[in-house]
């Protein structure tokens, strides 16, 4: 029976992959609608023929990797259970230590290690493709260092979460999901508070903006918007990428507005001021805090569904998956599997909310700067630097885009420009 389950799972994954290959490379139409041709949103007006071809090719490959990598994670966890590797990891852990916490730590290092190996090909292909298309400038040793940092951060996080989670499962078979959610609230806020000052500096060097004239203009804009900001930070990303970015991160006193140095090198001061006004909107309209609230609502629903699905799965398929009880540490891959599927299923809704907030930020920025020319040109440069699709396929937009497409963003700015001019 378990062999059939494995074969069916792999076959389903292959069919799924073939569908998305056909959809992205043959079916999806990314051509601009007729009414937008010749406008400032038309790639033909700001990209040359080679850049348009490269952006289409790169986007197709990148999107295919996305749609293949997430279900591959599900297949990995399913096969780990089906072929008894989770049981083996537990056996190795129990033979290595008599202390429960150390047993969990050893179990998790084995699971994390094999997960890292299984997903490494996807990560490496993504890295090598970004190098081939001149998006990434990062050397392999530097990229590998970031991968290993990510591995240990992920392992450290699991080492905090999993022992508490399975302790709660033993203490309360029917309410562990609720207690886990309640504990996740302070943990989520604490991690977001630490992110800018502890986690982010592990990957890159941050420093106050060196261009003091620009910083003065940005802080004046922040003061106008009643934002208590004293610094704008820049981060050295040129050694890793040619892409551009700026963002708001952290909460409370650790909240930061961050500019990549690639953005500083490629955009004019007026364009940067538009980008900064966009980021300030996230602070003014409290998008970060709304984001936390939405995340907590989805995580509550997700943990409850995980509780129900895990119980049903173990009751029906526990023998085949080598899981005698939900609270047994061998069920960790099942927990990750269910949570990953639910997260993927929720992504259209979370992306929709994020796109709404980003549209709000674009409108706020253009109202503050009243400079549609700089705004449009900044989006055109962002498109060129990242080889982004101006008009992505529908499924890509639904599952991948937490920002509006460049077609939506530039056309909105053009409408403002026409209205403002009149």
Q: Are 407 and 391 in contact (CB under 8 A)?
A: yes
What percentage of the chain exceeds 90 in pLDDT? 57
Copy the structure tokens of residue 392: 């992505």
Active site residue 362: yes
* Strand order through the sheet with 246-249: 206-208, 233-235, 256-260, 246-249
d(CA 127, CA 12): 27
The one catalytic residue among 328, 362, 371, 408: 362
Phi-psi region of 135 (alpha: psi -120 to 50; beta: other; left: phi over 0): alpha
Residue of 279, 328, 371, 408 with catalytic role:
279
Binding residue numbers for Zn(2+): 278, 282, 358
Tell me: pLDDT of 99 over 90: no
How far is the first Cα of the chain from the last one, in angstroms, to the nearest whole number?
71
Q: Is 35 a catalytic residue?
A: no
- Residue ranges of the annotated binding site are 278, 282, 358
Mean pLDDT of 397-409: 93
pLDDT confidence of 215, banded at 50, 70, 90?
confident
Strands 206-208 and 256-260, by their bridges, are: unpaired
Rounded Cα distance between 40 and 32, Å, is 12
Q: What is the pLDDT of residue 333?
A: 95
pLDDT of residue 106: 95
- What's the CA gap between 305 and 309, in Å, rounded? 6
Over the Cα atoms of the chain, what is R_g? 24
The model's confidence at residue 35, banded by pLDDT at 50, 70 and 90, is confident
Tell me the pLDDT tens digit for each residue of 248-272.
Answer: 776 766 677 888 989 998 999 899 9
pTM beyond cutoff 0.85:
yes
Indicate the domain borders of the chain.
172-422
Mean pLDDT of 123-139: 93
Burial class (CB in 10 A: 0-12, 13-18, 19+), 386: buried
Task: Burial-class residue 62 by CB neighbours within 10 Å (0-12, 13-18, 19+).
Answer: buried
Ordered DSSP codes for 177-233: HHHHHHHHHHHHHHHHHHIIIIIGGGTS-EEE-S-HHHHHHHHHHHHHTT------E
Q: What angle separates helix 212-224 from helix 269-284, to the nearest 10 degrees?
A: 40
The dihedral built from the CA positions of residue 287, 292, 295 and 296, taken in this order, carries a sign that is negative
pLDDT attached to residue 81? 92
What percent of the chain has a predicted confidence (pLDDT) above 70? 97
């Amino acid at each position: 029976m378990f062999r059939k389950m494995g074969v069916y799972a792999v076959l389903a994954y292959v069919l799924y992959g073939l569908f998305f290959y056909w959809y992205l490379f043959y079916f999806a139409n990314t051509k601009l609608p007729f009414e937008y041709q010749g406008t400032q949103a038309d790639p033909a007006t700001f990209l040359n023929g080679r850049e348009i071809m490269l952006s289409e090719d790169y986007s197709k490959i990148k999107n295919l990797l996305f749609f293949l990598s997430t279900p591959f994670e599900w297949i990995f966890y399913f096969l780990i259970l089906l072929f008894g590797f989770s049981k083996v990891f537990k056996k190795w852990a129990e033979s290595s230590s008599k202390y429960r916490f150390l047993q969990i730590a050893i179990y998790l290092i084995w699971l994390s290690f094999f997960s890292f190996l299984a997903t490494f090909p996807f990560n490496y292909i993504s890295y090598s493709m970004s190098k081939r298309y001149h998006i990434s400038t990062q050397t392999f040793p530097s990229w590998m260092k970031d991968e290993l940092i990510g591995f240990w951060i992920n392992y450290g996080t699991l080492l905090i979460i999993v022992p508490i989670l399975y302790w709660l499962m033993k203490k309360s078979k029917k309410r562990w999901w609720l207690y886990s959610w309640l504990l996740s609230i302070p943990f989520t806020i604490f991690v977001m508070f630490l992110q800018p000052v502890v986690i982010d500096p592990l990957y890159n060097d941050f420093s106050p903006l060196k261009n003091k004239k620009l910083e003065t203009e940005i802080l004046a804009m922040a003061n106008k918007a009643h934002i208590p900001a004293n610094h704008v930070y820049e981060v050295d990303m040129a050694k890793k990428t040619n892409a551009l970015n700026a963002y708001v991160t952290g909460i409370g006193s650790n909240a930061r507005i961050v500019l990549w140095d690639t953005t500083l090198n490629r955009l004019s001061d007026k364009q940067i001021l538009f980008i900064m006004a966009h980021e300030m909107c996230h602070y003014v309209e409290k998008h970060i805090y709304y984001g936390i609230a939405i995340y907590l609502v989805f995580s509550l629903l997700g943990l409850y569904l995980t509780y129900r699905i895990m119980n049903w799965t173990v009751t029906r398929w526990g023998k085949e998956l080598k899981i005698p009880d939900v609270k047994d540490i061998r069920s960790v891959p099942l927990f990750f599997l269910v949570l990953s599927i639910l997260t993927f299923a929720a992504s259209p809704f979370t992306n929709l909310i994020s796109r709404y907030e980003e549209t709000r930020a674009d409108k706020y920025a253009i109202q503050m700067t009243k400079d549609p020319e700089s705004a449009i040109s900044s989006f055109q440069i962002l498109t060129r630097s990242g080889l982004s699709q101006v008009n992505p396929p529908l499924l890509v937009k639904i599952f991948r885009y937490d920002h509006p497409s460049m077609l939506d963003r530039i056309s909105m700015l053009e409408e403002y420009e026409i209205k403002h001019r009149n």
